Chain A
Amino acid sequence: MLKYLLKRSGIYLVMIFLTTSAGYFLAVSSLKPALLEQEKIPRPSPEQVTNSFRLLGLDPTKNPWERYVDWLGGVITRWDWGRSPNGAYVNAEFTDRVMVSTRLFIASIILTLVIGVALGVYSAARQYKFQDRAITSYSYLVHILPAPIAYFLVQLGAININEALGQRIFFVTGISTPGIDPGWPAFVDLVAHYAVPTFAMTVFGWAGYQIAQRQYLLDNVNADFVRTARAKGLTRNQAITRHALRVSFIPVAQSIAFTIPAIFTGGFFAEAIFAWPGVGLWSIQSIGMQDVNVATAMLAYGSVIFAVGAILADFATTIVDPRVRVQ
């Protein structure tokens, strides 16, 4: 098992290296921070721009290959992912951004999972009844609504509630109010900021799990081993929870591990709409600011998260499914 995981990790490391390198070349050849400097007032001379970028390690006179070698050397020898055109260190800012993203997503990820799987089981057990039709058609409806627009609609709704009540209950953007007292007021403030994004991401997030869980459970409900369980004298619910549910959870467990990168990309939209300065928003902004090093670091981060998800998926399958053996 350990040997297998190590081998997979090795393959993924090579892949991460390749995607990151490809991303670096794409970024270095298309992002030109010098053009943005021209818009500053007073306008710096091209020599000044070149000079300041050279000090930051973003020398525009070098060719992409030389810059790539410099950058890779920094990453490998000093774990230094370079600097932004405005002088900020990528390493330092990265930690803050990851913390913000994690805080934003952790609650909604857990809620989405629990609600999605539970509704999937519930609707499968009541196939074609009213509850099943309502839950499943809601899930299909969510499928045809792009995430940023869904979030925006929730935001509009929250604003309307605030206006109707005449006071600000929900904050639709931002993390916290500056200068709030610690203790109880800080907690209330936190909840008020959390409520809208978490609600939006949960309500529009569980559809995928619900449909998948319902489908897999229905595939198994009429299987022979469930009929055997019923013949042994178990009630229908017992047979479903003890026998059908376990088997049908295997592919869902796999998809759970794989949604980590999907949440990461969903994060772009949520962070952009709700103005949480997390990883996703940083990536988009970095491209707007023509920031080669941040864009590459984000690409590498995305690849690493995906690899972790894929390995977790393998791991989850071997744990949940007794039929899978790793040699």
Chain B
Amino acid sequence: MTNIIDPIAELDEARVENQDVVIAKSRIIFRRFMRNRTAVAGLFIFLALFLFSWVGGFLTPWDKETIDPFNIGMGPSPEHFLGTSQAGIDLLAMVVEGTRISILIGVIVGGLSVLISAIYGCSMAFFGGKVDSVMLFILEALIMMPAILVVAVATGSGGDGLRALPSWLLLIVVLLVFSWMGTARLVRSLSMSLMQRDYVKAAKYMGIPSMKIVRRHLVPNIGSLLVLDFTRGVTGAVLAEVAFSFIGIGIKAPDISLGVLIGQSTGQVSSFPWMFWVPLTVMFLLTGSLAMMNDGLRDAFDPSSSSIGSAKSKTAKKKTR
């Protein structure tokens, strides 16, 4: 019975292969993303910052440890492009280092937390029943814990074992533990409703293996959410790092991050303004570029997206008015 070949379907396939132009999905996504000018600008700013954080050190002969005794607390000058701190350390070198640490924290926390929440949420929906309720209990208990207290305990007064780790690594671990629950819950409810859809049911009755169903039907539908959540997670992690370091409980000197640089300079905004405004601007560029990308990524990845080129979107706008 299974070997019956539908002649019309075969004909259709042949026609598709020969004549019609088939655009690959990745290409559609890429085109949709490129159509959003703001998102492309955001991507460029982000890439530029990323590049800056790795090769920016070559722009200046100074590094973040060398003290220049002739230029202590000096404003921007040809010798130090962004000025020096009150200890005589080149600000550009510190900003490069800080940006790298901040991007690192953001990308690692954002990426891993999306992965954890996807796996956790999907397995909750997939297994259901007892497993689901136990996992949901753990999840809600974690949401309940005020993250800031745990961050403060872990980074401020960790035991000897924790002290050996660099503080940015410690912060990554703590932020990771407290960042994935919201998305996991969303993934759970979303994939639960997807499992009830007719096309998933149909695929099940056709005897398609579960892994294939997950890959074909669940992942593309949750994928847009996950991609969105990645950029949102990166933004969240960067902001959390800045906020925690700003009030002195995240990353601790001598480790440098954007938050540390901003936090250290708040006391002397009037006397050393460049120490405050430069890292703040870099942080704005970083979080701002991610926010700009966010919208474009949503339009690009969402299978039910209404973003179909400028010609149609104009008419769509007119309709809503």
Interface membership of A26, Cβ < 8 A: yes
Which residues of chain A come closer than 8 Å to B158, judged between CB atoms?
A: 30
Which residues of chain B come closer than 8 Å to A307, judged between CB atoms?
A: 144
Instruction: A322 to B129: give the CA distance in the assembly, Å.
Output: 28
Which residues of chain A come closer than 8 Å to B157, judged between CB atoms?
A: 30-32, 287, 290
Q: How far is the CB of B125 from chain A (nearest CB, A)?
A: 21
Which residues of chain B come closer than 8 Å to A144, judged between CB atoms?
A: 235, 239, 284, 287-288, 290-291
Binds B, one of A91-99, A105-113, A242-250, A265-273: A265-273
- Contact residue among A156, A290, A299 (Cβ-Cβ distance under 8 Å from B146): A299
- Contact residue among A128, A140, A269, A283 (Cβ-Cβ distance under 8 Å from B149): A283
Interface membership of B162, Cβ < 8 A: yes
Interface membership of B242, Cβ < 8 A: yes
Binds B, one of A12-20, A49-57, A166-174: A12-20
Q: Report if A287-B153 is in contact (Cβ < 8 Å); known contacts: A15-B137, A127-B320, A146-B239.
A: yes
B147 in contact with A265 (CB, 8 Å): yes
B145 in contact with A30 (CB, 8 Å): no
Q: How far is the CB of B233 from chain A (nearest CB, A)?
A: 14
Q: Report if A302-B146 is in contact (Cβ < 8 Å); known contacts: A148-B246, A269-B247.
A: yes
Question: Which DSSP category, helix, strand, loop or mixed, fits chain B's interface?
Answer: helix
Which residues of chain B come closer than 8 Å to A32, judged between CB atoms?
A: 157
Instruction: A299 to B239: give the CA distance in the assembly, Å.
Output: 23
Which residues of chain A come closer than 8 Å to B321, judged between CB atoms?
A: 127-128
- Contact residue among B143, B153, B249, B269 (Cβ-Cβ distance under 8 Å from A27): B153
Interface membership of A204, Cβ < 8 A: no
Interface membership of A90, Cβ < 8 A: no
Scoring A residues 297 to 308 as 1 if CB is less than 8 Å from chain B, else 0, what string do you get?
011001100110
Q: How far is the CB of B304 from chain A (nearest CB, A)?
A: 13
Q: How far is the CB of B258 from chain A (nearest CB, A)?
A: 10
Tally of contact residues, A, Cβ under 8 A: 46
Tally of contact residues, B, Cβ under 8 A: 41
Which residues of chain B come closer than 8 Å to A145, judged between CB atoms?
A: 284, 287
Interface membership of B152, Cβ < 8 A: yes
B320 in contact with A261 (CB, 8 Å): no
Interface membership of A133, Cβ < 8 A: no
Which residues of chain B come closer than 8 Å to A303, judged between CB atoms?
A: 144-146
Interface membership of A7, Cβ < 8 A: no
B287 in contact with A299 (CB, 8 Å): no
Q: How far is the CB of B210 from chain A (nearest CB, A)?
A: 31
Q: How far is the CB of B315 from chain A (nearest CB, A)?
A: 14
- Contact residue among B141, B240, B259, B284 (Cβ-Cβ distance under 8 Å from A19): B141
Which residues of chain B come closer than 8 Å to A18, judged between CB atoms?
A: 141
Interface membership of A200, Cβ < 8 A: no
Instruction: A145 to B147: give the CA distance in the assembly, Å.
Output: 19
Interface membership of B253, Cβ < 8 A: no
Nearest residue in A to B159 (C-beta to C-beta)?
A30
- Contact residue among A148, A152, A269, A302 (Cβ-Cβ distance under 8 Å from B144): A302
B247 in contact with A268 (CB, 8 Å): yes
Scoring A residues 142 to 173 as 1 if CB is less than 8 Å from chain B, else 0, what string do you get?
01111111001000100000000000000000
Query: Top 3 A-B pairs ranked by shortest CB distance?
Result: A302-B146, A144-B287, A146-B243
Name 19 interchain pairs, CB-CB below 8 A, sorted by A.
Answer: A15-B137, A15-B141, A15-B144, A18-B141, A30-B157, A30-B159, A143-B291, A144-B239, A144-B284, A146-B239, A146-B240, A146-B246, A149-B262, A222-B320, A264-B146, A273-B247, A295-B149, A302-B144, A303-B144
Can you add 9 more A-B contacts, CB < 8 Å, to A265-B147, A268-B247?
A15-B144, A22-B145, A140-B291, A146-B283, A264-B146, A287-B157, A295-B149, A302-B149, A303-B145
Q: A residues engaging B (CB < 8 A)?
A: 11, 15-16, 18-19, 22-23, 26-27, 29-32, 127-128, 140, 143-149, 152, 156, 222, 261, 264-265, 268-269, 272-273, 283-284, 287-288, 290, 295, 298-299, 302-303, 306-307, 310
Q: B residues engaging A (CB < 8 A)?
A: 137, 140-141, 143-150, 152-154, 156-159, 162, 235, 239-240, 242-243, 246-247, 249, 259, 262, 266, 269, 280, 283-284, 287-288, 290-291, 317, 320-321
